[in-house]
Amino acid sequence: MMYLSDSSRSELRDILKRHEGVSLFAYDDTVGKCTIGYGRCIDREGGKGISLEEAEYLLENDLDTFIKSVEVALPWTASETPKRKIVLVN
């Protein structure tokens, strides 16, 4: 495996960010592959997809969003039991 120092890795990251740009929503790249983020190909054919760790990270962020949405829309849920809160968020 190739090793890059932290400073070289940072330089490479900056170059890729500048060249790829970022898209927070999936889009078709120049060759028609579904892509997201900084050029991450998630297309079913030839794409990398995401790792389990990335899926878990996304789920945690989604949970935070969903919980906050329920708290804002239904403030009375603050006094509900954890089980009832789970049902409401789910």
Domains of the chain, residue spans: 1-49, 51-90
| Statement: the pTM of the whole predicted model exceeds 0.95 | no
Q: Mean pLDDT, to the nearest integer, of 27-32?
A: 93
Write down the mean pLDDT value for the chain: 92
Helix (H) or strand (E) holding 28: strand 23-28
Token pair 């090793």 in the structure block, residue: 3
